[in-house]
Each structure stands twice: as C-alpha cells, then as structure tokens.
Amino acid sequence: MDDQRIRLPARTLLDCASTDQLCIVRTQEYEVIVVPVFLIGVSVILLAIILWLRYRPRKPDEDDQRQDEQRKPSAGYINHAISLEELTLDQVLRTKDPSLQALEIPRGRIRQPLQLAGEGRFGPIYRTKLNGPEDGKEKDVIIKRLRNSCGAQEIRDFLQRVAFQGWLGQHPNIVELLGCCPNEKPFCMVLENIEPGSLLHFLWDCRRDVMSMDGILYDLTECQVYTIALQVLSALGFLHQRKLFHGDLAARNILIHRNLTAKLTGLGGACEMRQTGTFPSRRPAPLKWMAPERLLRLPISAKSDVWSFGILLYEMITLGAPPYPEIPPNDILQHLQRGNIMKRPPTCKPAMYNVMKICWLWKAPERPSLPELRKRLESAKKASNDKTVLQVPEQVVPELYAGVAGTEFMRIENDYTVL
C-alpha cells in the first residue's frame, strides 16, 4: 500500500489503472528520466546565478571606491595607477620626493649664460660655473635641464631620477650630484664636471700618435687600464651593496677625468630597479655587452654585470674596439650558445685575458664575485707594464663602429647621460 501511494502521482499522469502491470513498468521508466533531468536543471540554474553574481556590472560607488584606493600615492613616488591623462604638473609637484628640497640650489648661484654642451634624453646639457654657497668660490659644473615642452609624465620621471641620484649618495667613482632646481620650470640637475668625458672617446683618442690633455702629452699603458678597471669595479660594488644592478656596463657609460679617475654613469636601469624591485628586463641596451641570461630574457643578477665587466676590459685594452667585430649583433646569442668567446687581442697579455675568460663563463654562478675579481686584478696589476704605451694603429670611424657594435640606436656622445 505504501509503495502504491508513492507511485500514485506518476500513474495519474500516465492515466494508468492500479492493476495495470505494464503501466507500472512505464512509471518506473518515467521516474528514471525525470529525476536526472530535474537535477541537471537545478545545477544549470545555480551555475547561472553564480556567474551572474561574479560578472554582474558593479555599482558606480564600488568602482569609485576601488579607483580611489588605486590613486593613493605611495611614499616618495606617484602611484603608477594614475593614468597619463590624469597626471598633472600640480600632482607631480605635490607628490615629489621630499628629499629633493634638501638638494635645492638657488638659481642665482648658477652663472649665466650657459654654454651648450650637447643634448640628452631629457633636454639640453650645459657647461657653466656654480658659485659657492658662502665664499662664492666658483666650480665647473654640468647642468642637465628638462625641456620646457615636457609633460607631467616626463617631469615626474626626471625628478624621480634626480631623487634616486641623491638617495644613492656619494662615491668617488660615481658622478656627484651637487643639487637641483625642483620646484618650477625649467627643472634641472647640477652635476660635477668631468673632462675630457667619455671613456670610449678617450680610448679612441689614445689611438692617435700624439694626444694631449691641457697641453701635456698623454697615452695609456696596461697598468693604467688596471687602475681604471679597479675604480669601475669599486663603483659597481657600491651599486651591488644597495641590491642594484647596472645592466649596461660599457666604456660609453664611464666618464674619465684628466687624472684618470673613472666615474660610472648610465644608472637609469638601477633607478628603475629601486622603484619596482626588479631590473627592467626589456630596457634597451646593445646586445654584444649583454650576458647570456639577459639575451635569453631570463632574470639577471650581479653576475650579469660581471660578464659586461669582461667586455669593458676588452674595450680598454683594445683602445675602444667593438666586441665580437666579426659577428653581427643579432647573431651574438647563437655565437655564444656554441661556446665561443672572443680571442685574446694582440695588445692583451695572458693575465688580463684570463680575467676576461672567467667573466665570460656561460653559467652565471660560476663567474667570479666582485671581491674575487678585485684580488685577481690587483695581483695582475703588480706584474703589469707601466712603461709601454698601448698602440692600435687603426683609427675609429664612429659610424662604422656603431654598425659593428650594434649601438646605432644609442646616442654616443661626450655628454652627461648620467641617469
């Protein structure tokens, strides 16, 4: 009886008599079909509700709240969530790094008129003199000025890089930032003046039979190459201690003083790394100076700078020859993957070449640390020649050099592209 009461509704639907055995079989078949269909229907409805809740249009107040959270500026820098269209000069000045105020130099201390020395990424570069704050004693300086036509985004980038240079602090082998004018146009930074300037151009000049600085004949010896290399290594260690990488170590990014003091420049990658926490992997740089891991777009490390340091040694001992002169720039990765490295140049002794070779080990962990490199360089310097002048008879044609080196897209000038 209980079983009949349970099945009665189904039998009614099918117009079955209670004694019809065939109808009972059909009733069971009906139940087998209806139950799964019902469960599937419920599942579809639940899934539709979940999707609607997940992807329904948000209310305006929810969007506003989320945008407000994104627009809150981080300490020292403008939050990157602010779109370029929204960024204004007023926002840039209100949210600029507070440390810039301590670096401010009154414009009255900068002697006018300025002498145009070149053109950099942000604008014109000038030479002039800076009056001392108390005694008025003049000092030769470089002024890097931002173009007046630059928008808020470029102003922000410029001020961030000035702030980075100030945060980095002083080092005898990094160009010193003397101050800046950060509060109104024209924005500018004031740097120490280093002459003759570009190490790469200095090396090319050393190929001449007679070269002079301030009227004094000057040439380069193997021992002096070691001296410059050790100074660059010191500046590189200064960056690495701050958990930063250079990423483009080359003769074109080093300035040389009359007394052969080297000053490392080209710190734009390090500046971006400090802001984001990682080195900008797609930052443009000539391929022939890159370590294999960077060519492969893998994460780089301090050992990537060690690879480039070996290329720098090659540049100096050859008086500015382009690396891998027989290999097109776009073929350099394939060349290295075959286990090839540069041969020892005629002007390079085995001791220096051995240092180069360990810098060019394929596996980054196998390359030497900076302290180990320093020991090797100091040891080799003691046995180096400080009398015989390096001689390379061929003169460099800058346009041909750029094609072989793969630097056509870069500005290689005797200027102060410091950041």
Active site residues: 248
Cβ neighbour number for residue 203 with a 10 Å cutoff: 24
Distance of CA 140 to the CA centre of its chain: 30
Q: State the Cα–Cα distance between residues 236 and 239, nearest whole angstrom.
A: 5
Q: Concatenate the DSSP letters of all residues of 253-319 into one string.
A: GEEEETT--EEE---HHHHHHHHHSS--TT----GGGS-HHHHTTPPP-HHHHHHHHHHHHHHHHTT
Task: Look up residue 131 and give its amino acid.
Answer: N
Please, are residues 274 and 219 in contact by the beta-carbon 8 Å criterion? Answer: no
Quote the tokens at residue 393.
């008879």
Q: What is the dihedral of CA 33, 39, 45, 51, to 10 degrees?
A: -120
* Distance, first Cα to last Cα, the chain: 93
DSSP strand pairing (254-257 vs 177-181): unpaired
Please name every residue paired with 221 in a beta bridge, in sequence order, or none if there are none.
Answer: 389
Tell me how far CA of residue 145 lies from CA of 102, 122, 192, 196, in angstroms. 19, 7, 14, 21
Q: State the Cα–Cα distance between residues 377 and 369, nearest whole angstrom.
A: 12
Q: State the Cα–Cα distance between residues 359 and 307, nearest whole angstrom.
A: 5
